[in-house]
Amino acid sequence: MSKKFQNYVSGTWVDAKSGKVFENRNPAHWDTVLGTFPLSGKEDVDEAVRAARRAFESWRLVPAPKRGDIMRAVGDIMTRRKEELALQMTREMGKVLLETRGDVQEGIDTAYYAASEGRRLFGHTVPSELPNKFNMAVRMPVGVAAIITPWNFPMAIPTWKIFPALVSGNTVVFKPASDTPATATALVEILVEAGVPPGVVNIVHGGGSEVGMALVEHPDIDLISFTGSTSVGKKISEVASKTLKRVSLELGGKNAQIVMDDANLDLALEGVLWGAFGTTGQRCTATSRLIIHEPVYDKFLSMVVDKSKKMRLGDGSDEGVDVGPCVNENQRKTVDSYVQIGRSEGAKVVAGGTIASGNGLSKGWFYEPTVLADVTQEMRVAKEEIFGPVLSVIKVRSLDEAIAVSNNTMYGLSSSIYTQDINNAYRAIRDLKAGITYVNAPTIGAEAHMPFGGVKETGNGHREGGWTVYDFFTEWKTVYVDYSGKLQRAQIDNS
């Protein structure tokens, strides 16, 4: 019998009030049920928000360094449990163990970084324009944060949001993706073990339309941090604007790797295979487009096709597997539909392009790593996010054209260029319209202590990771201390 999991509200593990549950299955072996989880609704959300609101009044008064100490304990626990957490993640969302270990490590890194930020929530002191007066600005917690996260990085992304929210003095209601509820539950268990008080962190499982939108609409939610699709992000922004909630959106991408004729092609090959097919292409930063300079187009395309055909598909917990399954059947259908769209638009399938079968693969949602050649920049497969193991290859005649093609999309998350010419590298850094640019590295590989996010329809301007995320989770309070003993009227008396 599969394990039954619960919500965590006000320090207690509880079922959904409806009593309903949903199943969590292994995408590599769909007949394997990993557990059942509460199918929650608005009443469950209301209870969790009330708990978070009550807890906020005491949690905000805990000194920030003490809140940081709890994050350090979280990092220690995650370090001890790293292998267990990685295996659990592989079983519920499919990516290979090498990657899930990295996912957990990113959470560990974020915990230790957040611990240090508990002593670094810097404010500002500035001179007053009047005598015997002191001016300063300090950071204050905002309130109750709704944290809504995707399934592709089920440990790293929640930690990017929850840890800085807590260190800043906010309380949290966490709605994880329904495809990865076990990893999310493990994270909450670790927070509790580390000493987070009851009500400070609450987790409510369930669907986006029921739980997610109930959080977005809730009058007692003060801020929302969401990672997911651009279409859902736009809906959240629209609904949240009615109550002027603070909203951070990290949305889609259609990232390109540029390979110039002077590039180290062997290095570029390693990069594009990792960027395009790591996490089965299910990353917002995945290398979805490959832009090749004409002089090396045929040679480099041949190298990519040859290597992609040799990649091994299978259960991500097996040794030697390069590519795991799509997360569920609908995701695989979406991937296949885009391959057919590409064919209809005139793209040529030079590798993959089919549902994978044989050697036990028929039990899961596997799709062959796919390379589409003869793609033009106006094709849908060159402009729309596919979120699967599909690489669209485009030929260009110059660096200027390569940059223009890379920028020709509604998204602007990550970008990459392979070149040995430092002048071209810096031109690309300046001109690529993206929140992240890699030089001689793929479009994936973000580090926990650096800002993460994009431009255009990839988000709404906020950044996760590093020091910048604390700007979202805190409010600035300006303080004036007048010790002159008399009324001073700022500009009136200073004119």
| Residues tagged active-site | 250, 284
Q: Which of 402, 397, 401, 395 is nearest to 373 (CA)?
A: 395
Q: SS3 for 12?
A: strand
Give the whole-angstrom CA distance, residue 459 versus residue 432.
Answer: 16
Decide if 375 contacts 347 (C-beta within 8 A): yes
Give the whole-angstrom CA distance, residue 438 versus residue 440.
Answer: 6
CA count, 13 A, side-chain hemisphere, 95: 27
Structure tokens at 433: 């319209």
SS3 labels along 440-483? CCCCCCCCCCCCECCCHHHECCCCECCCCHHHHCEEEEEEEEEC
What burial class does residue 291 get, using C-beta atoms within 10 Å of its C-beta: 0-12 exposed, 13-18 middle, 19+ buried?
buried
Give the whole-angstrom CA distance, residue 331 versus residue 270.
Answer: 26
| Backbone conformation region of residue 54, classed left if phi is above 0, alpha if psi is from -120 to 50, else beta | alpha
Give the whole-angstrom CA distance, residue 155 versus residue 50.
Answer: 25
Give the whole-angstrom CA distance, residue 239 versus residue 403.
Answer: 35
Amino acid type, 62: V
Decide if 267 contacts 290 (C-beta within 8 A): no
Give the whole-angstrom CA distance, residue 114 versus residue 160.
Answer: 9
